[in-house]
Amino acid sequence: MSSSAAILVTGGAGYIGSHTVDLLIRRGFNPVVVDNLSKGYRHNVSPERLHVFDVADTRRLAALMTELKVEAVIHFAAFIAVGESVGEPEVYFRNNIGGTLSLVEAMRRAGVTRLVFSSSAAVYGTPERVPVAEDAPFAPVSPYGESKATVERILGWLDRCRGLRSIALRYFNACGASPDARLGEEHVPETHLIPLVLRAVRTGAPVTIFGRDYPTPDGTCIRDYIHVCDLAEAHVAALEALLNGASSGAFNVGTGAGHSVLEVLRAAEEVTGSRIPHRFGERRAGDPPVLVADSSRLQRTFGWRPRYTSLVDIVATAWEFEKRRQ
């Protein structure tokens, strides 16, 4: 398979999608981006690669894939805010599940049979054991998590019934920014911890830490923070595996190391040289005390390894992006 293959990237103007598009270009692929720009940004993708429409437009998707001879798809396009999904479950099911159904139908019409799916650790809910392995049961505690679990089930059936080969990547807490500070987190509203902490430095407004009575060493939640560039590497590794004939599968993507919210604050203070203004709030419903990945299956299968294993280094890339945004 030629490395110059055309690869459709849905949601490629968003946070993780744009980093993956950037890596695909550097690896010699020809990424084609479809994004409705409801969450992504035009400035994240060069104009000649960007097609602005919704993945719900099945006919247009199929025509584009046929015209450009797309050989595989990386599917990021989705709504991702857990709290919002609880308030608007119908919107999340329509967009995340309905949008994927439109995509796979377009793929069927265009004869495209390989898909990398952006899944989430949210499919596990509050796991019984950590680190979490891929054989842990699906037990989502939000419509967002349910939407990802449902798509994974659908893809399993499409493998059996249609020969659509897919790899689902269940990632944990995506964070950080590109080393050149050109790409980073720009969610509106922002819900991720590290950019919220860094904005507290810039604005002086305290960041809220939800819960200080968890059964963890410092009482705050522990999460596995995986750098966005390492996530991009995992997507390209999965893509290359599918192009080389790999079977369908699901893989966790994380570092295998957990850090508490207060440890993130301390790392940010080290990076910025400033005290992080913060206050404590009540626990959020559905927040597990500890969520850490066992990504050994991914490492064994694809030879993938996280390059960013230092929390300070991860926060430093996010800080450079935050300063550039100012």
Q: Which residues are catalytic?
A: 144
The two structure tokens encoding residue 151 = 């798509």
Distance CA 23, CA 227 (A): 14
The two structure tokens encoding residue 260 = 């508490």
Instruction: Enumerate helices (H) and strands (E) in the chain, giving the number of each.
Output: 11, 14
Per the rule left: phi > 0, alpha: psi between -120 and 50, beta: everything else, 223 is: beta
Backbone torsions φ then ψ of 279, nearest 5 degrees: -140, 160
Residues 6+ apart with CB under 8 A from 200: 206, 207, 276, 277, 278
Distance CA 100, CA 103 (A): 5
Total residue count of the chain as it appears in this document: 326
What's the DSSP call for residue 95? I
DSSP 3-state of 63: helix
Distance CA 56, CA 102 (A): 5
Is the distance from CB of 25 to CB of 182 less than 8 angstroms? Answer: no
Burial of 159 per CB tally in 10 Å (0-12, 13-18, 19+): middle
DSSP 3-state of 278: strand
What's the DSSP call for residue 55? T
Residues 6+ apart with CB under 8 A from 67: none
